[in-house]
Copies of this chain bind each other. A is one copy, B any other.
Amino acid sequence: MRTDSRLPRVLHVLLHLDQTQDPVTSDQIGKMLNTNPSLVRRTMAGLREAGFVGATKGHGGGWVLAKSLDSISLAEVYAALGSPQLFAVGKSADAPTCLLEQAANRATSAALEAARETFQEQLGQVTVADLVSHHAQEIRQHQ
C-alpha cells in the first residue's frame, strides 16, 4: 500500500484550526494538504467522533476545534483515526503448524510489539499543543 500519512496530516490540520476562530471548510483544508475535500471529510470523521473537532454545514460552515490542543495527546489522535496499521512488516501466517515457523513468527511479533509500545508511549507523552509550544514565536512571525 502507500504510506499512510493520516496522522501527520490531521495533526497539521489541528494546528491550523488552532490559528483561527472561523470555521475552515474541507475545501480549504484540501488545498493545505494538496488533496480533495471528500478525502478530508473522511479523514476528519474520526476526529469529529472523538469530539476533537466539530463540523457545521451550510454558509459559513466548516471545521472548528472542539477541544483545547493541550488536552489532546498524539496517542488519542492516532486512536481517533482508528489506530491504523503501523507496520509494513508482519508475520508469515496467522497460525502455522510448523514449530519452526511458529518460532520465527514469535520472534518477529515480539520485536514489532516492543516497537509498537515505544511508539504508543511516545505519542502518549506529547499533546498536539506541544508540537508548536517551542516554536510559538517563530510561527506567529510567519502567519
In the complex, are the beta carbons of B126 and A122 less than 8 A apart?
Answer: no
A63 to chain B, nearest CB (A): 15
Query: Which of A84, A93, A98, A111 has the most chain B CB within a 10 Å cutoff?
Result: A111
Interface bin, chain A: 35 or more
Question: Which residues does chain B contribute within 8 Å of A105, judged by CB atoms?
Answer: 8
A87-B87, A104-B8, A115-B116 given as contacts; is B3 within 8 A of A99 (CB)?
Answer: no
* Interface of A, helix, strand, loop or mixed by DSSP: helix
User: Does A123 reach chain B (CB closer than 8 Å)?
Assistant: yes
User: Does A132 reach chain B (CB closer than 8 Å)?
Assistant: yes
A20 to chain B, nearest CB (A): 12
